[in-house]
């Protein structure tokens, strides 16, 4: 697995993991969690949600501890920064974990901050209704020009692009999504931001075949995506 010594400036390293029923053994994953995290897992009402949390947290700890060279996954020190985002004290890397259904994506980069978001294309939502509430006028126009699978795919590409920027700063939905405007390349692929995030850089990629996922990454400096693992076959 990649370590920080092998990471290159300007690269965002991405790992994808199955955290649903087809994922790693839950009992084994618990061994990578701290006592506090295992106690938190026990508070979930439904097994499905509890097991996703356990697998996702173990995934984060195992990859991040190896990347940062901090020893065992359970002993990885995690803290909360002033912006409310988790960090590894003393480490020069930023990271962000996102999940949608049974899929989780972790981004790690030797830079100040990054945002990562993933969504499954088969997630059931009312695309136009949500877009008219949360999207900028130019984005709504682009969506209204499509229908069927094309409209659904564009909706999630735009949504993940917005979420990636909003997560990067730690503000989340405290930012009005309509103010995170995404400009499109040939009307279907997110290209860059306008408005508040205009100086930021954006990348969006679809993964898997059929009903796969779309992943967006936002960062305040130029970057290239490096996929370290990609396990989606939906």
Tell me the Ramachandran region of residue 198: left when phi exceeds 0, alpha when psi lies from -120 to 50, beta otherwise. Answer: alpha
Together in a domain, 199 and 130: yes
Domain that holds residue 36: 4-116
Together in a domain, 208 and 169: yes
The list of the chain residues with pLDDT below 50 reads 233-234
Q: Say which CATH number the domain at 185 has.
A: 3.90.470.20
Together in a domain, 108 and 124: no
Residue 208 is predicted with a pLDDT of: 85
Reported as a single tens digit per residue, the pLDDT across 9-65 is 799 999 999 999 999 999 999 999 999 999 999 999 999 999 999 999 999 999 999
* Token representation of residue 11: 């690269």
Distance separating alpha carbons of residues 152 and 160, to the nearest angstrom: 12
* 28 domain-assigned: yes
This prediction has a pTM of: 0.93
* 225 domain-assigned: no
Number of domains in the chain: 2
Together in a domain, 129 and 204: yes
User: Do residues 122 and 113 make contact, with C-beta atoms less than 8 angstroms apart?
Assistant: no
Residue 173 is predicted with a pLDDT of: 73
- CA-based nearest residue to 12, from 158, 156, 118, 113: 113
Distance separating alpha carbons of residues 227 and 199, to the nearest angstrom: 24
* 234 domain-assigned: no
Together in a domain, 103 and 65: yes
* 221 domain-assigned: no
Together in a domain, 165 and 150: yes
Residue 217 is predicted with a pLDDT of: 98
């Amino acid at each position: 697995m990649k370590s920080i010594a092998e990471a290159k400036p300007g690269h965002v390293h991405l790992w994808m993991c199955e955290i649903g029923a087809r994922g790693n053994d839950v009992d084994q994953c618990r061994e990578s969690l701290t006592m506090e995290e295992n106690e938190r897992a026990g508070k979930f009402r439904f097994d499905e949600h509890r097991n996703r949390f356990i697998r996702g947290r173990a995934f984060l700890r195992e990859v991040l501890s190896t990347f940062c060279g901090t020893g065992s996954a359970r002993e990885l020190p995690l803290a909360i920064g002033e912006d409310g985002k988790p960090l590894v004290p003393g480490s020069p890397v930023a990271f962000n974990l996102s999940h949608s259904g049974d899929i989780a994506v972790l981004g790690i980069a030797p830079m100040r901050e990054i945002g990562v978001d993933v969504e499954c294309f088969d997630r059931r939502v009312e695309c136009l209704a949500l877009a008219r509430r949360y999207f900028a006028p130019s984005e709504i126009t682009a969506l209204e020009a499509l229908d069927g699978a094309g409209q659904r795919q564009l909706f999630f590409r735009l949504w993940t692009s917005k979420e990636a920027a909003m997560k990067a700063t730690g503000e989340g939905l405290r930012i009005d999504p309509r103010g995170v405007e995404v400009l499109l390349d040939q009307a279907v692929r997110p290209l860059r931001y306008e408005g508040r995030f205009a100086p930021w850089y954006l990348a969006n990629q679809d993964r898997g075949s059929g009903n796969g996922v779309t992943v967006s990454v936002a960062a305040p400096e130029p970057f290239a995506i490096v996929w370290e693992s990609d396990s989606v076959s939906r």
